[in-house]
A and B are shown apart, each in its own frame.
Chain A
């Protein structure tokens, strides 16, 4: 019996609470029978669950509509009271449709926003990863001096695996990409090279076939591969006989030994479609201690804490540092829980957004409480009547509480409906970097959350007005409609308005700061001209590229054809592209200032480029010359560096003519610096670090790069050039795929996706908060005018001018607003530190932002005060006094 054919658990549980005992079992049984036998086969699982929920939602209505003359309902039992209260509450709320609609809308907005954000944040920050005992899985990084994290070398991983006792299993993981040829179109596939222990660390095994063996994870072993479920279904039609057969990747045969289960999610690299053994041993040159290109992941033994593991690793690392001082100038080995590791980047933004949603909910609740207080004041006569007929205070409070619970229940239902759309929007909005987006859904935990906050809101914010309404002697109200406002209630309502203004200001400050940061970021000069620039990444590989010369010839032929295309003004090649998550850094060692510990030398982004790259990108040349077509293999090795790097390595002297080594400090030619160019943002617009070194790709110290990016500048719409570029690549070699296509402007936009995500949400919430706060101020003053109508009449009869009346009411509103603004500003200063990590170019206490949003809120408050004040000023003293 699969889980799909069982009714939703939360819904069944709710029904068992709703249905009376005498037909609970029969009714639940009927529903399940119908669900399994008819609805699921006819409409599918998702529609069937919706049908079941529909039945759950209709149940309480059915029960309310047919009060049963059964012995259990007689007398003063709690069930009959509840039924009667519910019945009465339903009628009361139906009589005031406008009031009810307003309250339900406000609550629905608040609960919907909070639920949507919760369901987005929950799987990322709180739900455990989809592995057995996931909390025991940790990444192991080499931490660096500046608090950064670096990958480990194979030898380091080998040693820590042999020496440590804290881990059940450890694995090293590297990147893998290759072109699969054969049956159909060549396809570029992303995968991972993993040590054979990898799947044991995650605690998953292939659904079909087997994992890797020790023998397969050695240099020179036969090539084997495990496929992801998605790739297996897409390329091989889900045919399990593929296991044991060969597939061709980069021209080499790989034997398929296993297929991963469909449920397997690889959080280390969600895009990975296949896995092959790492096949390293410590004798290989690229297995060195200083080769930082592998990630280490490990599973802690049961009962071992991350702290204990960290202590052990520190000891092991100290030994390594003693034996190999030049390789380990870093600080230590650092275990980090996998969950914390993958969510580190997005955590501050998500928590800030969650807090913003909670603030909106609070404002919504304050508003609703105000509305209920106002209503309670108007209903004093009704309560007095009930008291006269013998209702106790508790009885009246209970009835009011039932009403507020019914309201919050309806608000919660609306909120869930809104959250469904909200979640869809969030997934569409979410930045590409966001981990586990696939797990974002309005699931049972989100529904439980919505239910819990609806209940809490109903109880807490129903109690306040209920308590106020019943606090005074109820019999007093039976006289004329009370003319004096109850002091306590008006104090509470004043306090609520103050808190609404303060909370709204908090949100406005937050979104104001984010907005200004965004503007600052977008004003950052990336260092190149991003307009009308198309970037196309091309992969080369396979047996037809036996050596660097062939690879380079392939790229040169493509470049020559592309430059000849109509509409292309210039084109060039680069091994890495700014703002595209490329990250290729090398240590740079100066001949003039040798460092006794070369691994402490600064590193720079290395760009292996064709001639014309700096010109195509329009990176300004500051001194010396750029790279030319004459800088080829066999000619003197030259490099161009950027300004900040020149200042760092050659402070106060001329960098032109100096010589450096790239990568290995002890080997390789000395390369002469021939030019200095402007700084370029490589990682993100907000990132400080941008040391860069450009060298002719044909003089690359470590052979040709397998993938190069073509940058093409054209007139008009550069996207229109793409078909011709694809054609040019295919004409040179049909088997080399084009893998990443984007305009530079789009990459620039995407690089700020996370900041934009937080900003859009904050702006939305701030807008809602502003509207709600204005509605709150308006509601309270409006109620005040109604209650003081007689007093105002007397005042104008005694000669108060319209202006006096106006200033009386506006003054009252602005007093509350002023206090709220003050409280809000103080709270903003205290809380703004929480979003400091998302700010750029401004401080968290940026005065113009604070003043600006305070002004906006002040203006909105004036407008909200004006309407009731105008009504008060128009009061005719004669009519009001005659009424007495």
Chain B
């Protein structure tokens, strides 16, 4: 398991865990926006999701087309066990690195 996760990949994986099996582009983007205040472009969310799928960390399935989407299908994403392991490793590494530091860095 040599897959290192980029920072945005971590956010996407964590968002998928929060969303259960109902994650798709909009909900992932909104989850990240709600929790971090960032405003990523949809294309950014999707390139990351696709990369994570290429790495075998998440899986996807196509939903039904609807009129409000201009007759296009949704793509649902769900995290795979490998993805859970990868995010665990990442978070573990972060905790290890920040352990014992006062992370307010003396700022008010």
Give chain A residues whose Cβ lies under 8 Å from the Cβ of B26.
30, 33-34
- Contact assessment for B24 and A19 in the assembled complex, using a CB-CB cutoff below 8 Å: no
Between A18, A19, A59, A66, the greatest number of chain B beta carbons within 10 A of the residue's beta carbon is seen for A66
Q: Does A222 contact B (CB under 8 A)?
A: no
Q: How far is the CA of A59 from the CA of B46 in the complex (A)?
A: 10
The reply to whether the CB of B48 lies closer than 8 angstroms to some CB of chain A is yes
Cα–Cα distance between A31 and B46 once the two chains are bound (Å): 12
* Bound: A68/B74 CA distance, A: 22
* Residue from B24, B47, B51, B54 in contact with A26 in the complex, judged by beta carbons closer than 8 Å: B24
Q: Is A30 a contact partner of B68 (Cβ separation < 8 A)?
A: no
Contact A36–B25 (Cβ < 8 Å)? no
Q: Does B90 contact A (CB under 8 A)?
A: no
Contacts of A18 on B, CB cut-off 8 Å?
A: 43
Cross-chain contact B50 with A23 (CB below 8 angstroms): yes
With contact pairs A62-B43, A62-B47, A66-B48 given, residues A29 and B54 touching in the complex (Cβ less than 8 Å): no
Choose among A28, A65, A70 the residue that contacts B44 (Cβ–Cβ < 8 A).
A65
| Interchain nearest-CB distance for B12 vs A (Å) | 11
Residues of A within 8 A of B25 (CB): 26-27, 30
Asked whether A752 is an interface residue with its Cβ less than 8 Å from the other chain, the reply is no
- On chain A, the residues within 8 Å of B74 by CB distance are 26, 29-30
Q: Which residues of B contact A28 (CB under 8 A)?
A: 69-70, 72
Residue of B nearest to A5 (CB): B68
How close is A86's CB to chain B, nearest CB, in angstroms?
14
Is the beta-carbon distance between A68 and B41 smaller than 8 angstroms?
no
Write the chain A residue with the least CB distance to B47: A66
* A26–B76 alpha-carbon span in the complex (Å): 9
Assembly CA distance A409 to B42 (angstroms): 21
Confirm or deny: A61 has a beta carbon within 8 angstroms of a beta carbon on chain B.
Answer: yes
Cβ-neighbour of A25 out of B42, B54, B73 (below 8 A): B73
> Does A63 sit at the interface, judged by CB under 8 A?
yes
Q: Are A26 and B41 in contact (CB under 8 A)?
A: no
Residue of B nearest to A37 (CB): B68
Contact assessment for B41 and A61 in the assembled complex, using a CB-CB cutoff below 8 Å: yes
Residues of chain B at interface, number, CB under 8 A: 25
Residue of A nearest to B71 (CB): A29
Q: Is B75 positioned at the interface, with any CB of A under 8 Å from its CB?
A: yes
- Provide the B39-65 mask, 1 if CB < 8 A to any CB of A, else 0: 011111011111100100000001001
Separation of A58 and B47 alpha carbons in the complex (Å): 12
Given contacts A27-B43, A29-B74, contact A36 B51 (CB under 8 A): no
Known contacts A26-B74, A33-B68; decide if A19 and B51 are in contact (CB<8 Å): no
**In the assembly, what is the distance between CA of A305 and CA of B58, in Å?**
65
Q: Give B61 Cβ to nearest chain A Cβ, in Å.
A: 11
Is A69 an interface position by the 8 A CB rule? yes
A26 to B26, CA, bound (A): 10
Asked if A32 is an interface residue, CB under 8 A from chain B, the answer is yes
> In the complex the two chains form, what is the Cα distance from A494 to B73 in whole Å?
57
- The answer to whether A33 touches B46, judged by C-beta atoms less than 8 angstroms apart, is no
Known: A30-B42, A55-B41, A58-B41. A68 touches B50 (CB 8 A): yes
| Least Cβ–Cβ distance between A2 and chain B, in angstroms | 14
Using CB atoms, name the residue of chain A closest to B51: A68
Contact B68 A26 (CB under 8 A): no
Provide the main secondary structure of the chain B interface.
helix
Cβ contacts A229-247/B at 8 Å (1 or 0 each): 0000000000000000000
Inside 8 A of B68's CB, which chain A residues have their CB?
32-33, 36-37
> Which residues of the partner chain B approach A55 to less than 8 Å between Cβ atoms?
41-43
Give the one of A22, A30, A37, A66 with max B CB within 10 A.
A30
State whether A29 touches B43 (Cβ < 8 A). Answer: no
Q: How far is the CB of A783 from chain B (nearest CB, A)?
A: 40
Determine the chain B residues whose CB is within 8 A of the CB of A20 once the complex forms. 50
**Of the residues B40, B42, B49, contact of A31 by C-beta under 8 Å:** B42
Q: CB-defined interface of A337-380 with B at 8 Å, one 1/0 digit per residue?
A: 00000000000000000000000000000000000000000000
Residues of the B chain whose Cβ atoms lie less than 8 Å from the Cβ of A29:
65, 69-70, 72-74
Q: Which residues of A are found within 8 Å of B43, using beta-carbon distances?
A: 18-19, 27, 55, 58-60, 62-63
Q: How far is the CA of A754 from the CA of B82 in the complex (A)?
A: 72
Q: Can you name the residue of chain B whose Cβ is closest to the Cβ of A61?
A: B41
**Cβ A58 vs Cβ B44 within 8 A:** yes
| Residue in A closest to B49 when the chains form the complex, CB atoms | A23
Nearest Cβ on chain A to B60's Cβ, whole angstroms: 8
Task: Out of A22, A25, A60, A69, name the residue touching B72 (CB < 8 Å).
Answer: A25
Q: Mark B64-105, 1 if CB is under 8 A from A, else 0.
A: 011011101111000000000000000000000000000000
Minimum CB distance partner of B9 in chain A:
A66
- B58 to chain A: closest CB distance in Å? 13
In the bound complex, residues from chain B placing their C-beta under 8 Å from that of A26 are 24-25, 46, 62, 72-75
Which one of B41, B50, B73 contacts A59 once the chains associate, using CB atoms below 8 Å?
B41
**Which residues on the A side are within 8 Å of B47 (C-beta)?**
23, 62-63, 66, 68
Given A33-B26, A58-B41, A66-B51, A23 and B70 touching (CB < 8 A)? no
Tell me, in angstroms, the Cα distance from A150 to B20 when the chains sit together. Answer: 78
B33 nearest CB across to chain A (Å): 12
Smallest beta-carbon distance B65→chain A, Å? 8
Q: How far is the CB of A29 from chain B (nearest CB, A)?
A: 3
Minimal beta-carbon separation of B69 from chain A (angstroms)? 4
State A32–B75 Cα separation when bound (angstroms). Answer: 14
**Known contacts A28-B70, A32-B72, A37-B68: A23-B54 contact under CB 8 Å:** no
Q: State A148–B2 Cα separation when bound (angstroms).
A: 85
Can you list 10 A-B contacts (CB < 8 A)?
A: A23-B46, A23-B47, A23-B75, A25-B73, A27-B25, A29-B65, A63-B43, A63-B47, A68-B47, A69-B51
Which 10 residue pairs are nearest across A and B when measured between Cβ atoms? A29-B72, A26-B75, A58-B41, A29-B69, A59-B43, A62-B43, A62-B44, A30-B25, A23-B46, A66-B47
Given A23-B49, A58-B41, 8 further pairs, Cβ under 8 A: A26-B75, A27-B25, A32-B69, A55-B42, A55-B43, A62-B41, A68-B47, A70-B50
